[in-house]
């Protein structure tokens, strides 16, 4: 898939939030730890599960439901339950080294947690890598 340099996204979990809700507002997931970044989706780019492609939005906390256009800086390659579940990393500015490690650390831990809690019955879940993208504004 060729990715655009900018995407229009919707925040589903504000930075510091614990609860992910679906499009209808029903609780989809409750995290044992607060999200270290804003998390959402790009409704116009479907992922392998048919929903909008997942997005990590770095920077200041945004309210649930916030919508905006932001530069795509990288892709976190991830597999969840045996299916490709990549995440775009977006930010209004270039990603700082500590932010990159925060995102990588989060998804490494998330993959390990899924394996421990779900075993292998649901398929493999793991962080596969960080792929930086060039943006005209870098």
Per-residue pLDDT of the chain (138 residues; tens, 9 = 90+): 677 899 999 999 999 998 887 767 788 878 778 899 999 999 999 888 788 899 999 999 999 999 999 999 999 999 988 888 999 999 999 999 999 999 999 999 888 887 776 655 567 889 999 999 865 444
Element (H, E) at 130: strand 126-132
Report d(CA 132, CA 27) in Å as an integer: 32
* Residue 123 CB partners (closer than 8 Å, separation 6+): 79, 81, 82, 83
CB-side neighbour CA atoms (13 Å) of 95: 28
Pick left, alpha or beta for residue 29 (phi over 0 → left; psi -120 to 50 → alpha; otherwise beta).
beta
What is the distance between the terminal CA atoms of the chain, rounded to a whole angstrom? 22
Q: Please tell me the CATH code under which domain 6-129 is placed.
A: 3.90.80.10
Question: What's the pLDDT score for residue 67?
Answer: 97
pTM of the model: 0.89
The Cα-based distances of 4 to 42, 108, 122, 134 in angstroms read 11, 26, 31, 10
Give burial (CB, 10 Å; 0-12/13-18/19+) of 19.
middle
Question: What's the pLDDT score for residue 1?
Answer: 61
* DSSP code per residue over 61-93: ---TT-EEEEEEEEEEEEEETTEE--EEEEESS
**Domain boundaries of the chain, sorted by first residue:** 6-129
Question: What's the pLDDT score for residue 138?
Answer: 46
């Amino acid at each position: 898939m060729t990715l655009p340099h900018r995407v229009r996204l919707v925040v589903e979990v504000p930075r510091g939030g614990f609860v992910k809700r679906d499009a209808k507002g029903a609780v989809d997931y409750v995290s044992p730890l607060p999200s270290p970044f804003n998390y959402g989706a790009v409704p116009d780019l479907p992922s392998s599960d048919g929903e909008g492609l997942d997005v990590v939005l770095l920077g200041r906390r945004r309210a649930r439901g916030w919508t905006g256009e932001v530069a795509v800086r990288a892709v976190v390659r991830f597999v969840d339950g045996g299916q490709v579940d990549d995440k775009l990393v977006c930010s209004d500015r270039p990603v700082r080294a500590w932010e990159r490690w925060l995102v990588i650390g989060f998804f490494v831990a998330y993959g390990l947690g899924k394996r421990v809690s779900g075993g292998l019955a649901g398929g493999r879940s793991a962080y596969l890598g960080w792929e930086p993208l060039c943006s005209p504004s870098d």
